Structures are given as C-alpha cells and as structure tokens.
Copies of this chain bind each other. A is one copy, B any other.
Amino acid sequence: MKVIKAKNLKNHIAFATLLIMVLFTDLAFAQKATWIWYPGDYEIWLGNKMQNRRTDRDSFLPVLWKMDSHYVLIEFHKDFNVPAAEEVKLNVEGIYNVKVDGQAFPGYPKSITVPAGHHKLSLKVYCQNHVPSIFVQGKTIVSDDTWLVTFEDKEWIDATGTVSDKSGTTYLNAGSWNFNNILSPPSQFKLPTEPQYAVKSDKAPHSFFLDFGKETFGFVKLHGLKGRGKLHIYYGESKEEALSTDHCETLDELTVSEPHKKDSVMELSKAFRYINVQFDGSISVDSVSMLYEYAPLNERGGFHCSDEEVNKIYDVAKYTLHLATREFFIDGIKRDRWIWSGDAYQSYLMNYYSFFDSPTVSRTMLALRGKDPVTSHINTIMDYTFYWFLGIYDYYQYTGDKTFIKQFYPRMQSLMDYCLGRRNKDGMMVGLPGDWVFIDWADGLSKKGEVSFEQMLFCRSLETMSLCAELNNDPMGAVKYNALAADLKTKIFKYYWNSQQHALVHSRVNGVQTANVTRYANMFGIFFNYFTEQQKQEVKQHVLLNDKIQKITTPYMRFYELEALCAMGEQPYVLKEMKNYWGGMFKLGATSFWEEYDPTKTGADIYAMYGRPFGKSLCHAWGASPIYLLGKYYLGVKPLSPGYQAYIVEPNLGGLQWMEGAIPTPNGAIKLYCSTKQIRISADEGNGILRFKSKTAPVCKQTMVMAKGKNVYEIQMQKGETFVIDYNAI
C-alpha cells in the first residue's frame, strides 16, 4: 500500500474524481437509451388520445378541428463505431425489421449482436395504432435523439441497378421524452395517480355526497360495489353543480351487475370538488374515494411575500396551473380539456416562472401544430395561429432550445404560408369563411373587417419567423419576413392610430377607421414595445386607466392588461387589482381560479356561462396569471438572450414590504429576496444584471454598484455567487 503524501493528496483526489467521472460517464452513456420516434408524432398521437377523453353529460365530445396522425412507417438509423462486439437489446412498438449495414435479421429479434467496427444500425417500423417507436440498448449502441429518422427512406437497393439518389430524402433527429425504460413503451404512458379522500362524506341508503375540500381531478373509485341496477355519478366543481343532476356538465352512468363486492375505478378522469353518487336496485357501495391524477412537475419557482392574500393568490394560481398542466397544457380541467393555443400560450409563460417544464411546452406546441397541409387556423381561430408563433418566440428566449426551432421550421413556414395566402388586398388578415376571430369573450365585441389586435399578433408572428429564419440559415426568408413585418407595422400605425383618441382604434371596416377603441391592441402595443414612450403614456392614460373603455372580464385578457400596466411601472396599482380580482374569487369560495369572473354577478349566476347554468370552468389555466406577473414584474426576472445566457432582474415591490422567490432557468434558478432595505440575489447560470432604484447610494460588499441614472443602480452578477445589496427602496 502506498502512502500518499499530503501535497499529492489533492492530485490523487482529482484523479480519482476523474476516474469516477469517466466511469460515471460510461455508465451514464450506457444508461442513456430512451424510446425514440419521429419528432412531433408522439405529441400528435398523445394529443388525440387526451383530447378525445372529453365527455359532455356522458356524450363523447371531441374537438371541432382536424386531428392529424403519426406517420405509420418510419426508418430509424445511426452509424456507430463499435469498440468490441456487443449485444444490443431491442424493444419496438410495431412490426419491424433490423438491419446492420443493410442486412436484415430474420423475424423480430429482441436482441442482436453487432460486431466491432464501423456499422450502420437501422430499424424500420410500421405501426398504425400508435407511434412507431424503438428502444435500443447496448453498451455503446443506444437509442437517443442523435438517431436520424425519416418517413420515406427511398431505400433503393443498389443491387437492382436502380438509380439510387437518396439525397432528396429529409432526415430529422429522432424525438424523445423521458421514456427510459425498455419495458415501458410510449403507448403505455399514463400520468401518475395517488389516492385522495373526501373531507366530508354524506352516505344515505342509495347515495353518497362527497366534498373533497378543493377542486381536484382524477378517477372516482367505488369501494365494495355490489348488486344490480343503475349507478350515476354527478360531478360538480360547485356543490350546486353536483346536486343538479339535470344540468351538471359531467356525469357517469353505470349499469352494475356485480354479485360480489368489488372495487371499481371509473374509466375516465373528471374534474370536481363535489360528487353526488346515486344508485338504485340492489346496489350497495361501501365507500367512495378517488385517484388523483397529476403531472409530475417539479416546483422550480416560488414566491412568498409580506401580504398573505397575495401569497394565497400565488399558491392557488400555481395549483390551478398544475391541475391544467397534464399531458399538455389544457384550458380547463372540467372543460374543454382541449389544447387551445391562446390558452396554452399563457400557460407557457406561467410555466417559465414556476415549473419550467420545457417538454410540456414543446409537446403542446407540436400537438397544436399538427401536420401539413394546413387546412384551417389552429383551433380554427386566427388569433390562436398567431399565439402559436409567439409561443415559439418565447420558448426560444426562455429555453434556448435551438433544435426545436430547427426541426420544426418547415412547419412554421407552411403555417405562415397559410396566413400569407389569406391576406386581403391591403395585406391585412381578416376573418374569412371558416375562420373564428376570437379575441376575447366580451359582449358586443366587433370581429368585422381588419381588426387591429389581429394585425398586431400577425406582425409579431412575422417577426418570429424572421428570427427563426435567421437561426435556420435562411437569410432570404429572414429578409422576406422582416420586410413583411416592417411593412405591416407601418400600416398598423397608419390605419389605426388615432391621435384624437390617443390610441389604436379597434378596426377598419371597408377601409375606414372605426371610432371604437378597445384595450386589446393597445395593451399588446405596450409590451411588444411597438409604441413610442409618448404613445405608451397616452395609451396608459386614455385606455388602460380609462373606465369608459369597455372593461375586461376574463382572466385571459386581464393577463395582458395587467402585464401592460406592469410594463409601465404600475406594480402598486396592479397589486391592488390583483387582490380585488383574484381575491374576489376567494370570497365566492374559489379553490382554483376561474375561466371568467365578473364581480357584479351573484348567486347561482356566478357558475353560468355559454347559456348553461354550470357552463363555466372553475379551474382554468388562464386564471393563473399572477404566477407570471409576480415572477416577471415583481421579482422582475426576464431573459435577455436565449436560455437566460443573459438576463435582467428588476425587482419591484409594488407596495409589498418584502418578497422572496425563485425563478427557474434552464439549468438552475435565480433566487431573490427583496425588502425595502435589502436585496439578496444569486443565480446558477447566465450573465445577469440586477437593476433597482434607491433613494440613497446602495452598498454591496461583493461587487461594485454602478449608478445608471437618477436613483437607478445596477450590479453585474456572477453565477454561483450571492449578492447582498443594502439600499433604500423607492
């Protein structure tokens, strides 16, 4: 045994660490196999599956637009340099062949031996029911997203004398998620569940009435079900709904014939707080519980402050978002349980300030986009097509994921081509037959002619295309989209800006500016930074803070309204609005945030929407915007370059005494505490700037504080270090 001298110890440890790292890397590499598929296909398939789980009073209620399908036949391949012959295990969804250097093995092997040397391993898989997928696990040969895939391999065997020019074939990198177990194929994926029990359960001879204490989601479980007869489960997000057997939005009807006691779990998950179970005949039930179904998200962001109501708003918002984050970002858990692009867009933004679950963002965008040809706007809604582009812009900014942009640039192009093909003679987007111009649920909102709000979103979409074109080495495209965007922006101001009204008007009809001013285009103009500073102030005064302009009643558009105000530094005002509006829902008993909230409504009327007494969704993702507002405009964290390589933190207490929280970044978080006297901040990655206002000169022991203007100071942050700044907040 060698005695190690003290001065060498460090080196030995370093060497040992290196060794462990090598071993670990090798091990990690060997373990890195994952199920792979044609990118975008699993997302479409799973989206179909999830969205077709909706029922409306026990009738199947699917989406109203085209559902695409996966490619049923896929070729997967990769070239390997194999150091020594190795055994490779295979699992495949579909019927398939496996080839090494073009030579097929007979049958459907579960394991093959690949000899040492340079070899091409390829699999070709046909599967109609679900997505052709493979899992390949050897020592050095593993399936991952470095494999190439195509839906038309044009594999012309040279021996036939055929002209063999495969250069026309497009290969993409394989898609994957986190299916790392050879025995758990993608088609079997299910969200996890765990048992939950009612906080109150009223049992009667032929019924149960249960209260689970708060909004929840999952599968009802009937314990000890026995007998013959009919059993009904009426679900309610409110007590009134569960009691309204004629009008509750969802229900189950079971024909029971169980001679022996048996536990029975409903096939479809539902949203509810209350359930009303009624049965006849000889049926008996011991008890009723549920399996709570949830997306296994990490709580990577957080917010806590001196105001307990705001804390509750943040927590309920996060719970609301978590419930509405499932296989995809859906609108609401009772209904529609569909992926709506405008709703999802807000979920993406809220997600960046909470779970930072990027795969759910990209998965949702892929499911929304579907495949070519484009036959309709996304969800049939013009604005929702544009939000899809905006989502890509943000996705790249927050995650820095260039691969996604690269793989799906052709689908962006074809969707944009669809839009460009639908412009009118003035180059503006108007609603054509079959188009839904949505904007917002608001009484009397005009959708006629060229709506300014739609052109704003269209312009931002073109800017996104220009950015993506640049990223994809398409300089011609970048120039084209840029020119289109610039031209459209000029028109927007020429056609809609009304200096008497100090705002953009709502629309042009037959080429004539209408007199109507609404909040929509004006609030986007602020945080898109399309307005001059002067225009922003005019719009703030004459639109945002003007009670004569039609009010917004959906949390959906409240999101942007409050964002615009925050962007103008109106955090104190917005904090009050937040407490009034979201706090107002608490006063009506909300345990999650609603699709719509009108403070003027009372009684049973508060649950009505779409002409149905319980039509309103009481757990709607777009109700969760405080997560985003508090993260981006109070903690004040924003990426400045893709994936937080550069970012800025501009905390704004907005009247709070103190606040603290974490904002996730791709590989870490930015942690912040801020009171009126001190800021403490640290970040795991990126180059950050902390910018704040102070009445007096601030002090930071760790670094220099730079004065940047009247009462404005900045520090340059270093990743991994904690900075403590003593200051005097304005």
| Interface residue ranges, A against B (CB under 8 Å) | 45, 48-49, 52, 56-73, 95-97, 104-108, 124, 126, 128-130, 151-157, 159-163, 165-169, 253, 372-373, 375-376, 380, 414, 431-438, 441, 447, 610-612
Q: Are A376 and B433 closer than 8 Å at their CB atoms?
A: no
Query: A324 CA to B45 CA in the complex, in Å?
Result: 35
User: Chain B residues with Cβ under 8 A from A152's Cβ?
Assistant: 64-66, 375-376, 380
Q: How far is the CA of A436 from the CA of B161 in the complex (A)?
A: 12
| A432 contact set on B, CB distance < 8 A | 168
Can you identify 27 A-B contacts, CB atoms within 8 angstroms? A48-B72, A49-B128, A56-B104, A58-B106, A59-B106, A61-B97, A62-B73, A62-B126, A64-B152, A66-B71, A66-B73, A67-B73, A69-B71, A69-B72, A128-B128, A129-B129, A152-B376, A154-B376, A154-B436, A156-B380, A161-B441, A163-B436, A163-B437, A163-B447, A165-B434, A165-B436, A167-B434
Shortest CB-to-CB span from A68 to chain B, Å, is 8
Contact of A253 among B96, B107, B380, B435 (CB under 8 A): B107
> How many angstroms between the C-alpha atoms of A169 and B435 in the bound complex?
10
Please tell me if the beta carbons of B60 and A154 are within 8 angstroms of each other in the complex: no
Bound complex: CA A106 to CA B45 (Å): 26
Q: How far is the CA of A167 from the CA of B253 in the complex (A)?
A: 37
Chain B residues closer than 8 Å to A61, beta-carbon distance: 97, 104
Return the contact of A60 from the options B62, B95, B161 (Cβ within 8 A): B95
Q: How far is the CB of A410 from chain B (nearest CB, A)?
A: 10
B167 & A128 in contact (Cβ 8 Å cutoff): no
Q: Is the CB of A73 within 8 A of B58?
A: no
Output the least CB separation between A204 and chain B (Å). Answer: 24
Q: Are A610 and B73 also in contact (CB < 8 A) when A434-B168, A434-B169 are?
A: no
Known A-B contacts A58-B107, A373-B373; the reply to A128 vs B72 at CB < 8 A is no
A375 / chain B contacts, CB cutoff of 8 Å: 151-152
- Cα of A253 to Cα of B108 in the assembled complex, Å: 11
In the bound assembly, the distance between CA atoms of A108 and B255 in angstroms comes to 13
Taking a contact as CB atoms under 8 Å apart, the answer to whether B128 and A45 are in contact is yes
Q: Evaluate contact between B159 and A610: CB separation under 8 angstroms.
A: yes
| Partner of A64 from B65, B154, B376 at Cβ < 8 Å | B154
Min CB–CB distance A162 → chain B (angstroms): 7
Q: What separation, in Å, do the CA atoms of A108 and B441 have in the docked complex?
A: 33
CB distance from A24 to the nearest CB of B (A): 38
- Docked-complex contact B611 and A64, CB < 8 angstroms: no
Q: Is the CB of B107 within 8 A of A153?
A: no
- Known pairs A67-B126, A128-B128, A151-B375; list 4 more (Cβ under 8 Å): A59-B107, A154-B434, A157-B610, A165-B436
Measured between beta carbons, the chain B residues less than 8 angstroms from A65 are 152, 154
Chain B's nearest CB lies how many Å from the CB of A383? 12
Q: B69 near A168 (CB under 8 angstroms)? A: no
Query: Shortest beta-carbon distance, A98 to chain B, in Å?
Result: 8
Closest chain-B Cβ to A423's Cβ sits at a distance in Å of 16
CA A308 to CA B433, docked complex, whole Å: 66
Q: Which residue of B lies closest to A108 (CB)?
A: B60
For A68, list chain B residues within 8 Å (CB). 72
**Smallest beta-carbon distance A726→chain B, Å:** 55
Number of identical protomers:
2
Establish whether residues A151 and B66, one from each chain, have CB atoms under 8 Å apart when the complex forms. Answer: yes
A156 touches B435 (CB 8 A): no
Give A653 Cβ to nearest chain B Cβ, in Å: 41
Q: Would you give the shortest CB distance from A443 to chain B, in whole angstroms?
A: 8
Contact B73 A52 (CB under 8 A): yes
In angstroms, how far is the closest chain B Cβ from the Cβ of A573? 31
In Å, the complex CA distance between A97 and B55 comes to 10
Contact of A433 among B49, B60, B107, B168 (CB under 8 A): B168
Q: Sorted from nearest, which 3 A-B pairs have the closest CB atoms? A: A168-B434, A59-B104, A167-B433
Complex CA gap A447/B380 in Å reads 46
A158 to chain B, nearest CB (A): 9
In the complex the two chains form, is A611's CB within 8 Å of B159's CB?
A: yes
User: What residues of B have a CB within 8 angstroms of the CB of A72 in the complex?
Assistant: 48, 67-69
Which of B71, B373, B610 is close to A372, meaning CB atoms less than 8 Å apart?
B373
Q: What chain B residues lie within 8 Å of A447 (beta carbons)?
A: 163
**Which residue of B has the minimal Cβ distance to A53?**
B95
| Residues in B neighbouring A45, C-beta threshold 8 A | 128
Q: What residues on B are CB-neighbors of A153 within 8 Å?
A: 64
Most buried by B among A106, A157, A373, A612: A106
Residue A128 contacts which of B96, B130, B169, B414 (CB distance < 8 angstroms)? B130
Q: Which of A48, A128, A129 has the most CB of B within 10 A?
A: A128
A126-B373 contact, Cβ under 8 Å, with A160-B611, A167-B434, A435-B168: no
Q: How far is the CA of A413 from the CA of B66 in the complex (A)?
A: 21
A59–B95 alpha-carbon span in the complex (Å): 10
Q: Once bound together, how far apart are the Cα atoms of A151 and B57, in whole Å?
A: 24
Question: Which B residue sits closest to A151, measured CB to CB?
Answer: B66
How far is A153 from B65 in the complex, measured between Cα atoms in Å? 6
Contacts of A441 in B (CB 8 A): 161
Chain B contacts for A107, CB-based, 8 A: 58-59, 253
Closest to A168 in B: B434
Question: Are the CB atoms of B372 and A124 closer together than 8 Å?
Answer: no
What is the CA–CA distance of A253 and B105 in the complex, to the nearest angstrom?
13
* Nearest CB in chain B: distance from A65 CB, A: 5
Query: How far does the alpha carbon of A64 sit from the alpha carbon of B169 in the complex, in Å?
Result: 11
What residue in chain B is nearest A372 (Cβ atoms)? Answer: B373
Residues from chain B with Cβ under 8 Å of A126 in the complex: 48, 52, 60, 62, 67
Report B-chain residues with C-beta under 8 Å of the C-beta of A130.
Answer: 128
Q: Once bound together, how far apart are the Cα atoms of A107 and B64, in whole Å?
A: 19
Q: Which of B380, B414, B437 contacts A154 (CB 8 A)?
A: B380
Contact B59 A128 (CB under 8 A): no
A638 to chain B, nearest CB (A): 35
From the candidates B62, B105, B162, B436, name the one contacting A436 in the complex (CB within 8 A): B162
Distance between A252 CB and nearest chain B CB, rounded to angstroms: 10
A167 proximity list for chain B (CB < 8 A): 433-434
A109 CA to B153 CA in the complex, in Å? Answer: 44
CB distance from A269 to the nearest CB of B (A): 16
Whole-angstrom distance between the Cβ of A89 and the nearest chain B Cβ? 19
A144 to chain B, nearest CB (A): 24
CA distance A220 to B432 in the complex (A): 59
Give Cα A63 to B105, complex, Å.
17
A73 contacts which chain B residues (CB < 8 A)? 48, 52, 62-63, 66-67
A160 to B151 alpha-carbon distance, docked (Å):
41
Nearest CB of B to A446, in Å: 10
